[in-house]
């Protein structure tokens, strides 16, 4: 029998039901994989007991003839941005090191209610700020992928880099991610897995450490589209504890999966053909266009004229919200407190926050503070908010002529760790294709399309209308079937 850890969420779920293997066996297999993959540094905390308990619970339910929950016995990884009761939750920061919430985030609770187990808390860019997972206080996450003929450590993307690395290395069949400007899609693309960010408001933000409230949205990362659909279905749903949560029923996305795209129009936005885009990315994009045509879709060229303003607007709005959201980490009530001898309150704040936040977090707090300050607010924040409205309008106009948009996920394949660390602007450019749909709150996903010349995965992004996750998943499935992406990294770790 093949290795259990090669199976995805749907196969594990079905296998447990059919008695092919027990929930306990599944949990044990993944727990062992996790324990042997320290070199990837994907987990900040491992919670084997949690995964094993879920496996046993599935076995007991099966033995007793009780109906099994949708994810019964499936172990997953939990991005360490989700608060988990009694389990350290850090957002990969020093300031929250040792913090054990007395509450469970709505999304993680829904997954546990669906029978899933937790293998551990996944590493990420600190407070989800980064595109390479190099800003974590707990060290870089290493991608399981390597360039052909090189042993250089590659970035798994960010901020959900622990999630992407763990799923790609088959340490878990699926993982939660959060996406503020591309933090699910870009890492998924970097490691050759699928990842979906639903419409803003589908997944509750309650209990998720906030980065930028108007953009943050949880989503699923897994090895294929079906697994993403299953997982997202379990994570979504109205939550009265989050005012921005959508009070709508959760569609049966898995049931609705179909790779038949006949009757759909797929838009290709001219503005996403940016200067300096590698030929391989452009070629993959064209390949994607051919695939969706092959699946029956009509392809139309569309214009999203304000695209070039999306990145600057995002890097004003997101830091502005972050500068305020992170004010609560002050050393007064929980987390790190640095109280130098004889320090007063202001000095305690300064010492605590200087020691507790990493450079990238500080950079964004400073940017955010600046753009909100008196005299600059209108020039930056107000303007950026207007740009955001225009970008949303661009998409609305596009929906008049198409049902979906197809673009590359990122402007490049994964880069080596350290390669862009010294140049924050180059790093921020990684989000150029993912940020506009985040600003508009639209559902979007990345699916693997192929490998570049160095043997590194490349992703294609599908963007949908508000609440239209189904067609996004369906187009993803159509590409998945045609791409036949089976490449996997050699286990060097």
Q: Is residue 96 close enough to count as binding another protein by CB under 8 A?
A: yes
Q: How far apart are CA 124 and CA 129, in angstroms?
A: 9
Q: Which residues touch 407 (CB under 8 Å, ≥6 apart)?
A: 268, 269, 272, 285, 433, 460, 461, 463
Q: Which stretch binds another protein (CB under 8 A): 169-177, 316-324, 446-454, 456-464?
A: 316-324
Q: How far apart are CA 196 and CA 178, in angstroms?
A: 9
Considering beta carbons, is residue 91 or 116 the nearer one to another protein? Answer: 91
Question: Of these, 53, 258, 278, 334, which contacts another protein (CB under 8 A)?
Answer: 334
User: What DSSP string describes 316-371?
Assistant: HHHHHHHHHHGGG-SSSSSS-----TT--HHHHHHHHHHHHS-HHHHHHHHHHHHH
Q: Is residue 258 close enough to count as binding another protein by CB under 8 A?
A: no
User: What DSSP string describes 443-454?
Assistant: -EEEEEEEE-TT
The closest of 195, 205, 191 to 175, measured between CA atoms, is 195
> Which residue among the candidates 159, 204, 210, 412 is catalytic per the annotation?
159
Q: How far apart are CA 359 and CA 439, in angstroms?
A: 25
Q: Is residue 391 close enough to count as binding another protein by CB under 8 A?
A: no
Q: How far apart are CA 488 and CA 254, in angstroms?
A: 25
Name the burial class of residue 269, with classes exposed (0-12), middle (13-18) and buried (19+) by CB atoms within 10 angstroms of its CB: buried
Question: Of these, 275, 346, 378, 484, which contacts another protein (CB under 8 A)?
Answer: 346
Tokens of residue 270, six digits: 């001219």
Q: How far is the CB of 441 from another protein (least distance, A)?
A: 12
Near another protein in 358-377, by CB under 8 A: 369, 372-374, 377
Considering beta carbons, is residue 149 or 342 the nearer one to another protein? Answer: 342
Near another protein in 202-241, by CB under 8 A: 205-210, 212-214, 240-241
Q: How far is the CB of 410 from another protein (least distance, A)?
A: 26
Q: How far apart are CA 22 and CA 74, in angstroms?
A: 11
Q: Is residue 80 close enough to count as binding another protein by CB under 8 A?
A: no
> Which residue among the candidates 33, 79, 110, 465 is catalytic per the annotation?
79
Q: Is residue 150 close enough to count as binding another protein by CB under 8 A?
A: no
Q: How far is the CB of 188 from another protein (least distance, A)?
A: 23
List of residues contacting another protein (CB under 8 A): 82-83, 89, 91, 96, 99, 101-103, 105, 205-210, 212-214, 240-244, 320-321, 323-324, 326-328, 330, 332-334, 345-346, 349, 369, 372-374, 377, 381
Active-site residue list: 79, 159, 183
């Amino acid at each position: 029998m093949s290795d259990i850890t090669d199976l995805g969420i749907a196969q594990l779920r079905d296998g447990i039901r059919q008695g092919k293997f027990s929930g306990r066996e599944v949990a044990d297999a993944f727990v062992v994989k996790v324990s042997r993959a320290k070199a990837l540094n994907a987990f900040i905390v491992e919670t084997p007991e949690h995964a094993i308990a879920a496996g046993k619970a599935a076995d007991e339910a099966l033995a007793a003839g009780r109906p099994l929950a949708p994810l019964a016995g499936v172990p997953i990884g939990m991005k360490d941005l989700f608060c988990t009761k009694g389990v350290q939750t850090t957002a990969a920061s020093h300031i929250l090191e040792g913090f054990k919430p007395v509450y469970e985030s709505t999304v993680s609770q829904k997954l546990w209610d669906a029978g899933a187990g937790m293998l551990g808390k996944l590493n990420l860019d600190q407070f989800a700020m980064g595109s390479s997972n190099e800003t974590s206080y707990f060290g870089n996450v290493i991608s399981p992928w390597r360039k052909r003929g090189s042993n250089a450590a590659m970035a798994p993307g960010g901020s959900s880099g622990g999630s992407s690395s763990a799923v790609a290395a088959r340490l878990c069949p699926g993982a939660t991610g959060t996406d503020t400007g591309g933090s699910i899609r870009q890492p998924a693309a970097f490691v050759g897995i699928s990842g979906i960010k639903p419409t803003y408001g589908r997944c509750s933000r309650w209990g998720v450490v906030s980065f930028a409230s108007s953009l943050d949205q949880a989503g699923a990362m897994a090895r294929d589209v079906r697994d993403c659909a299953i997982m997202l279905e379990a994570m979504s749903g109205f939550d009265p504890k989050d005012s921005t949560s959508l009070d709508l029923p959760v569609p049966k996305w898995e049931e609705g999966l179909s790779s038949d795209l006949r009757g759909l129009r797929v838009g290709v936005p001219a503005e996403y053909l940016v200067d300096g885009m590698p030929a391989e990315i452009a070629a993959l994009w064209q390949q994607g266009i051919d695939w969706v045509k092959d699946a029956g879709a009509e392809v139309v060229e569309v214009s999203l004229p304000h695209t070039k303003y999306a990145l600057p607007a995002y890097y004003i709005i997101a830091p502005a919200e972050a500068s305020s959201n992170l004010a609560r980490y002050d050393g007064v009530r929980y987390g790190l407190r640095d109280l130098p001898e004889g320090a007063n309150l202001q000095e305690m704040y300064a010492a605590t926050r200087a020691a507790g936040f990493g450079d990238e977090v500080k950079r964004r707090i400073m940017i955010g503070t600046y753009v909100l300050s008196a005299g600059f607010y209108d020039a930056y924040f107000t303007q950026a908010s207007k740009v955001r409205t225009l970008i949303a309008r661009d998409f609305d106009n596009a929906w008049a002529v198409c049902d979906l948009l197809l673009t590359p996920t990122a402007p490049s394949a994964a880069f080596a760790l350290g390669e862009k660390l010294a140049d924050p602007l180059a790093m921020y450019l990684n989000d150029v294709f993912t940020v506009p749909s985040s600003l508009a709150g639209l559902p979007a996903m990345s699916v693997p399309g192929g490998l570049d010349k160095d043997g590194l995965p490349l992703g294609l992004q599908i963007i949908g209308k508000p609440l239209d996750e189904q067609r996004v998943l369906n187009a993803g499935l159509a590409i998945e079937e045609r791409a036949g992406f089976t490449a996997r990294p050699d286990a060097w770790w």
